[in-house]
A and B are shown apart, each in its own frame.
Chain A
Amino acid sequence: MTGMEGAPGFDFVLAPRQGRRPLGFQGRLLARVEAAPPDLPLRSTVTLHEAAPGGFVCAIRHRLPDLPGAEERCYALAAADAATLLHFLHTHDPLRDLPASALLPPAPLPPALLPAALAEAAMLGARLRAVWRALLATSFGPWPAPSGRAANDPAGRAPRHPGPPEESEHERDQRV
């Protein structure tokens, strides 16, 4: 994120987004939390900004420090209410855009070591999701998943593609 001159108390912030233009706004940092377990190949940071025009911007940044170039996967969302931001955070899957090389040892692997490497990668993936959920729960409190979601997600895994905020009954009526 980059700062530049702006409204008093607010700095210009650029929040990169995977595959899209960054969000640019005058913002004030409210919170920044990070999870960087030394035994995991991913460092995750969540920032929450208050936007000068009103509302909030939540940004997620996953860094892959073990890969050359320190690759990143970044996501951001602007919303007027906390519920939308919590939905954005809790439905985010940190593994969604990770390259397989983030979890696997450098190729080529001897065939004899492949099963163990794949098993280790599977464990890393599960650990990454668990750390992500713990980070959110510790920082933002428990999230009451919308009814029906738990039944479809018994393992507690985040969905691969977080959807837009759910419609309220009023919005559904308007659309119909």
Chain B
Amino acid sequence: MNVINVYEPIGAYEPYGVYEPMSAREPGPAAPRGPRAGGATAFTLRRSGARPLSFTGRRLAHHSGERSGAAQWHELSLYATDEGGYVAEIRVQGATQGEAGQFHVAAFEEMEAALRFFETHDARHDVASDIPIDDAALSPAELMVHAATLKVRVAEAVSGYRAVLSAFLTAMHRP
């Protein structure tokens, strides 16, 4: 089992403020790099608006925020490639996504950059508007209700993503 430390140590940066940006942190220790023997799998990850990304490696961590009845949720995965790099994947799934979903995938040389990909993801953009804006019969009151509903969905997408990310990063820690 490789050592993966993705937590932030205290002491060196004290005091921590709840709004101190991640960019103010020094990169933490990362998992060992370089080719790995055994356990490699070929992956082909779907990407929204781009060709699939294929690589050979293994999945280091995965967490899904799926729950029954949820309109939308996020699934996070981190892979280590046989070339010593990392691939971060954010899947947006749910009833409102239909068959399409959204697939945010990026490759990085360092684990720190991959972690920041997760940390800086803006889940607001993952919410698709379902307001029937072209419906001429839509009254102003209905439009207001639709807008308020969309605002709640956006807020919940952000909150839900942050909760999934918290569980993902915490579970990733392997001493």
Contacts and interface: CB of A to CB of B under 8 A. Distances in A.
Interface of A: 2, 4, 12, 14, 16-25, 51, 53-55, 57, 67-69, 71-75, 77-80, 84, 88, 96-101, 106-107, 162-165
Contact of B166 (A74, A79, A88, A165): A74
Given A84-B15, A165-B15, 7 more contacts: A16-B166, A19-B119, A19-B162, A19-B163, A19-B165, A22-B173, A164-B19
A54 B163 contact: no
A56 B65 CA distance: 31
Interface string B150-175: 00100010011111011101100101
A87 to B, nearest CB: 10
B126 to A, nearest CB: 14
B14 A18 contact: no
| Best-buried of B10, B22, B156, B173 by chain A (most CB within 10 Å) | B10
A19 B19 CA distance: 11
Interface in B27-69: 28, 65-69
| Best-buried of B14, B18, B115, B162 by chain A (most CB within 10 Å) | B18
A23 B169 CA distance: 10
19 contacts: A2-B173, A12-B175, A14-B7, A16-B170, A20-B8, A20-B22, A21-B7, A21-B22, A21-B115, A23-B8, A23-B10, A67-B67, A72-B167, A80-B14, A99-B160, A100-B156, A101-B69, A162-B18, A164-B19
Contact of A22 (B65, B156, B169): B169
A92 B85 CA distance: 39
B9 interface: yes
Interface residues on B, range: 35 or more
A55 B15 contact: yes
A138 to B, nearest CB: 24
A72 B159 CA distance: 11
A21 B162 CA distance: 10
Nearest to A4: B175
Contacts of A14: 7, 170, 173
Nearest to A165: B17
